[in-house]
Structure 1
Amino acid sequence: MFLNALLWVVYCYLTFWMLYFLFFGIVGHFRKSRPVGRSWSATFLVLIPAYKEDDVIVDSVVSAVNHSYPNDMYDVVVVADSLLSETLDRLREIPVEVLEVSFDNSTKSRSINAALAAIRNDYDAVVVLDADNHMASDFLSKMATKCNRGAKAIQGHRIAKSIGSKMALLDAVSEEVNNHIFRLGHREVGLSSALAGSGMVFEYSLFKEVMAQVEAVGGFDRELELRLIEQGIRIDYVPDAYIFDEKVATHDAFRHQRRRWFAAQYHYLGRYARSGVKALFKGHIDYADKVLQGAQVSRLLLPGLLVAFGTVAAIFALSPSWVFWAISLAGSVVALLIAIPARFYNRFLVGAMVEIPTTFVSMLLLHFTLKGANKTFIHTKHGQDDGKPESRQKAPYCN
């Protein structure tokens, strides 16, 4: 009886998230074409925090300063934390404003707050990029249009720069699934888009005010979105405003990145759970939904867990029967498949699927190594791949 009761609890938990992903995956396809248009009437501060990112920062800054938006309407500031002296010299030759910072415990939020405290100019909006990000040529003009229409917080569409390995392809697919479910699907029903950590645009004064309260070691974007939504700020999403982002190319980089993400997810679930329940009873659905997302099971882990528990139920004739688990498994697979853009369905994806079992085990084991992960900054280094030229391909691009 105890095992049956336990399996029912696990089944209900996993099936709830299957239905959650499936619902938002479906409504994400109901989006009608709504061109944002272009404007050149907003001023931007483009902030690029860079911690030990010597391999990629120069190319990213060159791309940013050569953006098609009018040069007198935006400034690029690199927040340089632990960059090599030769990298700093190259940056100043571009030229670009470089703000050097140093902390006993480096975090993205501390770098951003240091920059906001040092900058004296005023802007309409601030753009936050990662050190490896490149903006599409029309990114700022589309964001200017959104800002002029009153949007205070906006997430752009992060898309892979290139695919350098099977792991990078899986990471790119994972991000597109997130884009479809947690950004596009959520906006279609009037809820806030999730923030991605970069490719984000905020009203400048609002961002300074909210960031002053953020002290996250990991997952600063999760704390930022919770604080914004708690204030009633709706986070918008522009699916055709692209940010080209480098994907993790090795298992080690993947593990480091996901360990940081999992630690932040559970940390903020515990921190905001009570306020999320209160918000639900007060009708603040947007905030309650955002807190609830901290309890989600990973999209990659979900099918594997359903298979594992369903097999146990079948072998030991436990309840719920394997038929229930099979139905939920089918739903979870459909939820993933409909959230993957059609352009990814090719032979490369089929080849990358051999990495899924190893990745599943790795992600499952990560849950036993999270202690202290949210108290120490875990850096994911960019500019690496698997070293196999034959595995590289151009990223599928969405026009």
Structure 2
Amino acid sequence: MELLLIIATSITTLILIWCLACSLYLLLLSLGNSYPRRKKVFKKADKPIKKIHFLIPAYKNDAVLIKSVEKNFNILSKLTLDWEYVVLGDQLENETKSQLKSLGVVLFDVQLENPTKSRAINQWLEKTELEQGSFIFLLDVDNHLVEQNLHDFLLSVDREGADWYQFMRTAANQNSDIASLDAWSEMVNNKWFRTGAQKLGIRPALIGSGMLAPADSFENIHAKIDVTGGFDKWVEHYLIKQRIPLVYLPELQVLDQKTSNIDALQKQRTRWVSAQFETAKSLFAELLKALISLRITDFLKYAQLYLIPRVLHIFLSVALLFSFFLNENLGLLALVNLTALLLAIFWVTPISWFPKIAMAVVKNGSRIIWNYLSMGKDFKKAKEKFLVTDHGNSEDNSN
């Protein structure tokens, strides 16, 4: 019995240390949001972007694709810059293809036995000659551009610059409890891993869409990547290796349609957590190199790969309060951990969000937690095959 108690205490201590480290890291990022930030002024570049390729990998989701194309074309038609809208179509209906072409879309038929986002992009890059000085603007199939500041910003980007840019991706809809939770999660991520990180001197996180990059740099980096999930994490890695600046732009938005289906949400999160796990394994040596060489901001950036997924983090932090029964000191430490985590969350969540988030958690919390606890059984599938999020036909009620 005494041996079992020692083992339980040891395991609990290790989990608690991990949770506490994650909670303190998130609290640091939250507090980073309070740091002052110099306002950027969009000034016309001496050599502005020559051409922009809006690039949209599209695997099925035909109805959502058509809707986003129509909305984006209304905005892009006002641009004075040269641009083209390229859809990397994979398993689209023939009727959808015809409709896209009639709208003026450049349709690239993806031919892949095992389709993934990164492989579709690489296939297009291999067969496309990009103009010197052009840029690529990567969007997801359900993303909607926002007109405000877009034109002025694109005119301010120097075509000879090496910077990459990440727009703020925010929810296009909150028409259900699940969509509201997804929107809240995205908002918190923006505050922690982009605004907070950037103000602290840590590289902001890429999202996988809403990113603008010089075409030559994008092509060079993307040619190195062939993964089922987590390609944005690998892009971040190569940006660090090549010392290429990445700038987060909270004043420029891309709207993202949130799913209202809890099973679709689980599939999406399974893909993300699996990708995080695989990337963390592959880049552990880079974490150690950054620490040993005292590249602290790089170390803190790689450390994000080892943060506990949020739902599991909250669940474990609450469950660890029961460690009071094992050891009073462990219990007090568990209380400090939960307090730090809640402070990190509350610091970046507007008060107006609390009622609807609380209601959504009450209604769906137990099922979401169960889905997270059981998602390990699908990790192998997520590693071998890209798990596509079905957005259905939910309306964007944000406009």
Aligned to 2:167, the other structure's residue is in SS state: strand
The residue type paired with residue 353 of structure 1 is V
Partner of residue 329, structure 1: 338
Alpha-carbon distance in structure 2 between the residues aligned to 1:39 and 1:96: 28
Is 2:164 the counterpart of 1:156?
A: no
Q: 2:66 aligns with which of 41, 47, 58?
A: 58
How far residue 300 of structure 1 moved from its aligned partner, in angstroms, is 2.6
Aligned to 2:68, the other structure's residue is in SS state: helix
Which segment is superposed worse, 329-338 or 252-261? Answer: 329-338
Partner of residue 119, structure 2: 110
Q: 1:47 aligns with which of 55, 62, 81?
A: 55
The residue type paired with residue 133 of structure 1 is N
Partner of residue 124, structure 1: 134
Partner of residue 98, structure 1: 107
Q: 2:42 aligns with which of 12, 21, 37?
A: 37
User: What are the superposed Cα offsets for residues 228-284 of structure 1, whole Å, 9 maximum, x if unpaired?
Assistant: 112212321000110000112111011100100011001011111012211221233
User: What are the superposed Cα offsets for residues 192-214 of structure 1, whole Å, 9 maximum, x if unpaired?
Assistant: 11110100111110000111111
Any conservation in 1 of the 2:64–2:393 contact (CA below 8 Å)? no
Partner of residue 167, structure 1: 178
User: What are the superposed Cα offsets for residues 142-163 of structure 1, whole Å, 9 maximum, x if unpaired?
Assistant: 2443556945211110011111
User: What are the superposed Cα offsets for residues 28-50 of structure 1, whole Å, 9 maximum, x if unpaired?
Assistant: 12243614426483231110110
Any conservation in 2 of the 1:262–1:367 contact (CA below 8 Å)? no
Could you state the TM-score of these two structures normalised by the residue count of structure 1? 0.90
The residue type paired with residue 254 of structure 2 is I
Flag the 1:143–1:333 CA change in 2: closer, same or farther, 3 A.
farther
Any conservation in 1 of the 2:56–2:141 contact (CA below 8 Å)? yes
Flag the 1:143–1:17 CA change in 2: closer, same or farther, 3 A.
farther
Give % identity.
Answer: 28
Any conservation in 2 of the 1:134–1:243 contact (CA below 8 Å)? yes
User: What are the superposed Cα offsets for residues 3-61 of structure 1, whole Å, 9 maximum, x if unpaired?
Assistant: 22222211111000000000100111224361442648323111011010201111212
Is 2:320 the counterpart of 1:309?
A: yes
Flag the 1:71–1:374 CA change in 2: closer, same or farther, 3 A.
farther
Structure 1 portions without partners, runs of 5+: none
Partner of residue 222, structure 1: 233
Partner of residue 28, structure 2: 23
Aligned to 2:27, the other structure's residue is in SS state: helix
User: What are the superposed Cα offsets for residues 333-368 of structure 1, whole Å, 9 maximum, x if unpaired?
Assistant: 1111112245534x4333212222321222122134
Alpha-carbon distance in structure 1 between the residues aligned to 2:351 and 2:157: 27
Aligned to 1:126, the other structure's residue is in SS state: strand
Q: 1:193 aligns with which of 170, 194, 204?
A: 204
Partner of residue 136, structure 1: 146
Any conservation in 1 of the 2:134–2:159 contact (CA below 8 Å)? no
Any conservation in 2 of the 1:256–1:380 contact (CA below 8 Å)? yes
* RMSD across aligned positions (CA): 2.2
Could you state the TM-score of these two structures normalised by the residue count of structure 2? 0.90
The residue type paired with residue 97 of structure 2 is L
Aligned to 1:30, the other structure's residue is in SS state: coil
Structure 2 portions without partners, runs of 5+: 1-5
